[in-house]
Structure formats: C-alpha cells, structure tokens
Amino acid sequence: MHIPDGYLSPATCVVGYAIMIPFWATAVKKVKAVLNTKLVPLMVIGAAFSFVLMMFNVPIPGGTTAHAVGAGILAVILGPWAATICVSIALAIQALLFGDGGVFAFGFNCFNMALVIPFVTFFIYRTFAGNSEVTSNKRWIWGAIGSYIGINLAATCVGIELGLQPVLFHTAQGVPLYSPFPITVSVPAMLLAHLLMAGPVEAIATGGITRYFQLTNPSIIANQISARLAPAKAAFNKLWYVIIALIVLVPLGLLAPGGAFGEGEISDIKAAFGFVPAGLAALRGHYHGLLQDYGVPNSPFAASAPDLWHQSVGYYLAAVVGIALIAGITLLVTRMIAAREAKKSET
Amino acid sequence: MVDYQIPEWLLKSQGPLPPSNSAKKTRRSFVEKTIDAFSGFLMDDFYSERIASANGLMQGLHPGIKVITTLLLIFVAVSLRSWELLLLFNLWILMLAYMSAVPLSTFLKRVWLVVPIFTGIIILPTLFNVIRPGDPLLVLLHFSGQHRLGPWVLPGELTITSQGVRGAVIFILRVGACVSLSVLLTLTTRWAYLLRGFSMIRIPTLFINILEMTYRYIYVLLQSASDMFQARMSRTVGRTGTGEQQRFVGNAMGALWSKAFILSDEVHAAMLSRGYTGTPRTLKNAKIRGLDWFWIAFALLVTIILLGGDRLVS
C-alpha cells in the first residue's frame, strides 16, 4: 500500500500534502490538549509500536503470511487523532530509513494509511460497540470489521490516486507519464489484494489485540484515552457528508490541478506539434467551462467532451462498485457472525 | 608485570558487513520470518550507519543542504519526461553513490534489483496493444480477424507498442531515480543528522523530536518482540494450526502494547524529572560551509540543465 515516488505526479503529491497538513496540525492540537507533556512519550511509543507491528508476519490460511498496518488497533486504543500521528511517524521512518514509500508521495501515503484507516475503524467501532461492556464480544468483532473496511477504503483511495494519473498526465502522443492504469483497473486491482489478503490480516490484528486486552488487561480498552481523544459524536455525523463529498469531488477536484500544472498550455502544444489532440482540447474546454460557470459543468453530454464524460462515468462506476462491494461484504460478515452468535446461545 | 598488547587483528578496521545473508530459503514459519524481519532491520540499520560514517562526497555535506538538494533532485526526477535524460540522470546518481563510498553492489541491489521487478511487473501489461492501443513495434501473434468478447474487441494481432515500451522505460527509470536519491540520502546520513537537516525545511521541532525518540524506542520494542518470538520458537514442537498461530500473533502484539504503554509512563516520568515542560530544546545546527553553497549551486545547475533539456527534447 506504500506508494513509491514516481507513481504520482508532482501536482498530485502537492495535493496530498495540502490535505494532510491541516489534519496533522489538528491532530497535534487535539492530542496535546488532552495529554499535555505526555504527548511526546505516548506518541513516541505509539509510533514505535506501529513500526514494529508492521514487521510482524501474520499467518493467513494457505501457509503464507502478510503484514498488518496496525492503524486500526491504534485507533481503538488511542483514538483516531493519536493514531494519525503515530502511523504518520512510523511511515516517515519507513520512508526515510528504508525507502518504503516515497518522500513526495508521503502526503498521500499518510492520507491512506494514517488517516483513512484509523478514522473509518474508529467510526465503525464507536458506532456499533461504543456503548457495549468492556468485555463484550461486540468490541473485538466491530474493531476487526472496522479495520477490515478501513483498509479496503484506504486501498480504494490508493486505486483512485493511481488511476487518476494516466488521465491527467500523459504526453501528447498518449504515453502515460506516471502510473499507467486507469481507475477502472487500479481500483479493482487494489481492492482484490486487500479484500483477500491485507484486509483479513488487519482484521486479525485489530480483533486479536482487542480480544487480548479484554481477557488480560481490560483497563486499556476501558481507559478513557481513546474516549477523551475521540471527536464528538456529532463530528462523526458530519463525516458522512465529508465521505459523500469526497466521492463526488475526487474525480472533478483533481482535474483542476492536472490542467493547471505540468501540462503545456494548448497554445504551446499547437506551436510544437501543429495540432491539438482532440482529447486534450476537450479536457481543456471542459476545464474552462467549469471555472466560468462555477457550478455544474456545462453539459458533459456535449459532443465536444465525450472522452471526459466516459472517464467520469468510469470513475463513478468504479467508486460505486468498490463501495458496494465493501458494504456487501461487511453485511455478509455481520450476518455470519450474528448467525454464529445465535447458534452459540442456543447450545 | 605483564605487557598488554592489543593484537593486530583487533586494530584492523573491518569493512561493512553485507546487509543480509541470502541463505537458502526454505518455507519458513511465520515465527522465523518475523525474527528474520527484526534482525534484518538491525542489520540494515547498522550497515547504513557504517556507510554514513565513511569518508565520502555526500557524507561531507551539511545535512540540511543535503535534504534540500535531494528534494530538489527528486522533483527533477519526477518531472523529467525524456528517457535519454532520465538515463543520464540515473548514471549521475550512480556516480554520486560511488563517490560517497557506497558499495555499488549494495546500491544496485537496493535500487536496480528491486525497482525493475516490482515496477516492471506493474507496467508490463501496458506494453501490449490489447491493453493500451498504439503503434506496433513488434508483432507477436496474428489472430484470424477480430474477436468479440462481450464488450471487448480483440484486435487482429498481438503487438508490443512503441508507446508502451517508451512509457515503461520512462516509468522504470523515473521510479529508479527517485528511489536512488532517497536511498543515497539515507545511506550517507546518520539518523540524528538527517533529522537536524529536516528542521531546516521548517518541519516543526515537535515532529522531529518524536521522530528522534521513536527511532530509539523502536530498538527497545524490537528487542522485546524478538524475545517473545524466540521464546515461542524454542517451545514449539510439531505443527500448529492457523487459528492458534493467529491468536498467538494477536496476543504477542497485545502484550507488546501493554509493555510499551508502561514504558511510555516511565519515559514521561523520566522526561519530567529532567525538566521537560513541553517545549523541546535541541542543539545548534552544524555550520554551512563554502562547499555546501557550491553544492547547492551545482544542484541548481543540474536542475536547470535537465529540465531545460527536457523541454527541448520532448
């Protein structure tokens, strides 16, 4: 899931940092308000823990092993803001010491692993198990489910980030400059690997550790660090709007910097090649249209923008399919667990 | 009175150890793999510490300047669009590595063995016209006419396209250059100095402080985790089921957190007793010397030449 440098265009990397900087700042502010001087030692240990956790080989059926990110469990025990700091630091050390994940791509790597996973995990854990007893089975089950969904949403984000590259950044001859696969390929590819391998591993880690704490040291779960560090419930209701807004805006929003950065202006291209590629002209026309009207782009159905229209449909389809897949599997797992619990209580 | 003499072999300086042993890989259990991962981390880290304290070009530069120029050069790598210039750029980076006393075999193994395999596999399908249409460069197969497969139309022949090859070469060279530059930076700079370098690009002291301490406590937690796995390995006879193994990993991780959490309390108490008030203090940075200014000017020159050349070529 670590994106190396060279897969994302510089413009995209800037977007990644621009998204993360306010989150980092808020995270430090929130955590500091609760922990005060304990901020540094606890974040240090959390980051070191997350780093070591990523080196654990978790056995999965079939005799192979895979690594967990560990962002889910940190969200459960420390709350999502602290988890964001800890995982970001662990990722920074991985990038700097071992070149795991790029320096420019660090912003988006943090967005995917240090922001999406903890917040989604915590959101689900808190919603479904927040009021249950400390030793209730609900806690570890929802922790596991939450981190499973979290890591798959993160994988979807990686797929979207990579999949936008060939559309936005290619030479006039159509040779893609960065990651070459469109969203319709990159999202399913990322999801497949995470639904089957990385997802279960993350779920095992989160569920297993939570279960261990319930049995041996319930105070860690009951400990109010995560509760005190958690955003208010109302903030989580807003999260849904943010998620919906992101789904809608990601394809549109990233088109703008793509048009403005890196690519030559249309006049340059015309001067160099004597003609303007049709797709580019369409993209550019659409881009200006968007700026002028400041609202719904003027009919993407128009004949001048068929390419973009097709691509946008592709994005939405991919996003919708991805989300539907995750939601469907979540429901399935929930059903299965419910059925098992029912069976248990019968006997 | 005995005359103590240090034997000669003890005075000899030893060359860096190879980063990791490539012993025969049989199918190993998750316990062994994890222990290997732990010791691999330590070995890699010690190895790069040794290179970082060698006497070479990059080692002699001010860490802040090195961080800034590395970021600048990664930007160049990400922006270049012509494969000729990317190749040149990569050769130059190899030269820098050589001048910085990084053994070329290590460097090539870390960069040019890993990048073509991983990135190559990812980019491979785009070579063929079935995935991405383009001008044929090499015809591999002729099909009899067009085939329809649901919504997909298979073209009459399977070819490797010139666009595909160009794209793949550019992509691999670019990723290679980016990885080379960050490997070079981290191999030639000790962790503590590297972090001081980062404080020059306005990364808040708080983060640098946390990074610095995290690095130290990774060792502590690694030791602890490694002990757990060694203990488990030495007590395991016969085979165990996946479910039991997964429970063990979950428990080990949980136990590690319990220990770490207590440790964080102790560290906190230790910090407070030494007068920590919440604002970190660090030592003054190293001085920027004439050589560093020269290096910055040189890196800027390389940037201008490469980016300018790129505009002309592509």
Q: Report DSSP letters for chain B, one per residue.
A: -------HHHHSPPPPPPSS---------HHHHHHHHHHHHHHHHHHHHHHHTS--TGGGS-HHHHHHHHHHHHHHHHH---HHHHHHHHHHHHHHHHHTT--HHHHHIIIIIHHHHHHHHHHGGGGBTTTS---EEEEEEE-SS-EEETTEEE-SEEEEEHHHHHHHHHHHHHHHHHHHHHHHHHHTS-HHHHHHHHHHTT--HHHHHHHHHHHHHHHHHHHHHHHHHHHHHHH--S---HHHHHHHHHHHHHHHHHHHHHHHHHHHHHHHHTT--S----PPPPPP-HHHHHHHHHHHHHHHHHHHHHHHH-
Interface of A with B in 205-264 (CB under 8 A): 205, 207-209, 211-213, 216-217, 220, 262
Q: What's residue A324's pLDDT?
A: 61
Q: How do strand A64-66 and strand A58-60 relate by DSSP bridges?
A: antiparallel
Nearest neighbour of B37 by CB, restricted to A36, A37, A57 = A57
Helices (H), chain A: 10-35, 39-53, 71-78, 80-93, 106-110, 117-129, 137-168, 183-193, 199-216, 218-222, 225-229, 233-260, 266-273, 278-293, 306-346
Nearest neighbour of B268 by CB, restricted to A41, A47, A95 = A41
**A94 band by pLDDT with thresholds 50, 70 and 90:** confident
Domain count, chain A: 1
Q: From the candidates B178, B187, B242, which should be mutated to test the interface with A, based on the most A CB atoms within 10 A?
A: B178
What is the token pair recorded at B302?
């390389």
Q: Which residue of chain B is at minimal alpha-carbon distance from A220?
A: B258
Cross-chain residue pair B126–A181, CB shorter than 8 Å: yes
Cross-chain residue pair A4–B179, CB shorter than 8 Å: yes
Nearest neighbour of B271 by CB, restricted to A41, A51, A95 = A41
Q: Can you give the residue ranges of every domain in chain B?
A: 30-232+249-277+289-313
Q: CA A255: distance to chain centroid?
A: 19
Does B207 reach chain A within 8 Å, measured CB to CB? Answer: yes
> pTM for this structure?
0.73
Q: Which residues of A touch B177 (CB under 8 A)?
A: 6
- Is residue B127 a contact partner of residue B160, using CB atoms and an 8 Å limit? yes
Does B179 reach chain A within 8 Å, measured CB to CB? Answer: yes
In chain A, % of residues over pLDDT 90? 6
Cross-chain residue pair A44–B213, CB shorter than 8 Å: yes
Q: What's residue B239's pLDDT?
A: 74
Cα-trace Rg, chain B: 26
Does B74 reach chain A within 8 Å, measured CB to CB? Answer: yes
Q: Is the pLDDT of residue A228 over 50?
A: yes
Q: Which residue of chain A is at minimal alpha-carbon distance from B275?
A: A37
Interface of B with A in 272-291 (CB under 8 A): 272, 276-278, 280
**A326 band by pLDDT with thresholds 50, 70 and 90:** low
CATH code assigned at A132: 1.10.1760.20
Cross-chain residue pair A65–B75, CB shorter than 8 Å: no
A304: in domain: no
Does B56 reach chain A within 8 Å, measured CB to CB? Answer: no
Q: CA B200: distance to chain centroid?
A: 22
Cα A163 from Cα A181, distance rounded (Å): 6
Q: From the candidates A15, A36, A57, A220, which should be mutated to test the interface with B, based on the most B CB atoms within 10 A?
A: A57
Q: Mapping DSSP to helix (H, G, I), strand (E, B) and coil, where does residue A144 land?
A: helix
Q: Which residue of chain A is at minimal alpha-carbon distance from B131?
A: A181
Q: Which residues of B touch A7 (CB under 8 A)?
A: 175
Does A85 reach chain B within 8 Å, measured CB to CB? Answer: yes
- Is residue B31 a contact partner of residue B233, using CB atoms and an 8 Å limit? yes
Nearest neighbour of A45 by CB, restricted to B122, B249, B263 = B263
Cα B121 from Cα B172, distance rounded (Å): 10
Q: What's residue A271's pLDDT?
A: 39
**Average confidence score pLDDT of chain A:** 71
A92: in domain: yes
Could you report the per-residue pLDDT of A143-162, keeping only the tens digit for each? 899 999 999 889 888 888 88
CA dihedral A226, A227, A229, A230 (to 10 degrees): 100
pLDDT in tens, chain B (314 residues): 566 777 777 777 666 555 555 444 445 677 888 888 888 888 888 888 888 887 878 888 888 888 888 889 988 888 888 888 888 889 888 888 888 888 888 888 888 887 888 777 777 777 777 666 677 777 777 666 666 655 556 666 777 887 788 888 888 888 889 888 988 888 888 888 888 788 777 788 888 888 888 888 888 888 888 888 888 888 877 777 778 888 888 888 888 888 888 888 888 888 888 888 777 666 666 677 778 888 888 888 888 888 887 777 76
**A267 band by pLDDT with thresholds 50, 70 and 90:** very low
Cross-chain residue pair A45–B280, CB shorter than 8 Å: no
Min Cα distance B288 → chain A (Å) is 23
What is the token pair recorded at B99?
């001048």
Beta-carbon contacts of A6 under 8 Å, excluding residues fewer than 6 positions away, are A102, A178, B77, B78, B119, B171, B174, B175, B176, B177, B178, B179
Does A295 reach chain B within 8 Å, measured CB to CB? Answer: no
Q: Which residues of A touch B233 (CB under 8 A)?
A: none
A327: in domain: no
Cα B282 from Cα A301, distance rounded (Å): 60
